[in-house]
Amino acid sequence: MKSVLTSDYKILDNPRNVLRSLSFVTSNTHKFKEVNSYFTGARLSNMKFTINHLNQKYTELQADTISEVAHASASSLSTIMNHDFLIEDSGITVNRLNGFPGPYSSFVFQTVGWQGILDLLGDQEDRSAFFTSVFVLSLDKKLVAFEGEVQGSITIEAKGNFGFGFDPIFIPEGQTGFRTTLAEMETDEKNEISHRGKSLRKLFDFLIQK
Ligand code: IMP
């Protein structure tokens, strides 16, 4: 069995041994860590892509849904990029807050942080919420989207030091025992159940067919 080692990935049995490079454009190093961990851990047989980090900010257009934001941003970025790329937009939606912050998650986190969400929710009984992740891939100038979601609830207080953003106040559905919030999980554990893990799985299944 032939194998080729790149800096990050072991590519097995790639018939032509031709690797296409895909730039994940994000200024969020945590997101890249999750993507890198997923692709490193995934079964890479016949994978013809390497994913590298393009640490760059781009114009995030505002829209009513996370999916629309991701599409609009990718579409605008595709006019200036001359190679294949990937972007992701994500956010948390709190049901009792009528969908807030949703597409405004980034701004809300930068301004009031997770404490702002805990304050807004107060001691409300309905603490249900969900995270959404939408990857948009630009491959040969065509855009394809991959979406993932994880349902869960908002804690009473923050717990855990891993991850980023609202991770310390979000408990994924079905989580019991000591390690409950996303911020109490290592990257690969989070990827197994998270919104991003789910959208990444769809992206991976698509890329492996190429
Ligand atoms: P954007 O995708 O860069 O617009 O950022 C969305 C915002 O949602 C981030 O700044 C985080 O605050 C939050 N967010 C998105 N994904 C996650 C996650 O996996 N864990 C915690 N917070 C997240």
How do residues 15-48 score in pLDDT, each as one tens digit?
Answer: 556 778 899 999 999 999 999 999 887 655 677 8
Query: What DSSP character marks residue 153?
Result: E
Q: How far is the CA of 20 from the centre of ligand 1 (A)?
A: 28
CB atoms inside a 10 Å sphere around CB 32: 19
Question: In angstroms, rounded to a whole number, what is the distance separating the alpha carbons of residues 18 and 36?
Answer: 20
- Residue in 131, 116, 113, 121 with CA at minimum distance from that of residue 96: 121
97-122 confidence digits (pLDDT tens): 999 999 999 999 999 999 999 999 99
Q: Decide whether any atom of ligand 1 lies within 6 Å of the 90 Cβ.
A: yes
Q: How far is the CA of 37 from the centre of ligand 1 (A)?
A: 17
Q: Decide whether any atom of ligand 1 lies within 6 Å of the 89 Cβ.
A: yes
Indicate which residues carry an active-site annotation. 89
Q: Decide whether any atom of ligand 1 lies within 6 Å of the 166 Cβ.
A: yes
Give me the amino acid identity at 113: G
Say which residue, 2 or 161, is predicted with more confidence: 161
Q: What is the mean pLDDT of residues 61-70?
A: 93
Instruction: Please determine, for residue 125, whether its predicted confidence score (pLDDT) is greater than 90.
Output: yes
Ligand 1 atom closest to the Cα of residue 89 is 2
Q: How far is the CA of 177 from the centre of ligand 1 (A)?
A: 25
Q: What is the mean pLDDT of residues 113-135?
A: 97
Of 92, 132, 155, the residue with max ligand 1 atoms within 8 A of its CB, to mutate for a pocket test, comes to 92
**What is the reported pTM?**
0.90
Question: In angstroms, rounded to a whole number, what is the distance separating the alpha carbons of residues 39 and 53?
Answer: 13
Helical (H) or strand (E) element with 100: none
Which domains occur in the chain, in start order? 3-208 (3.90.950.10)
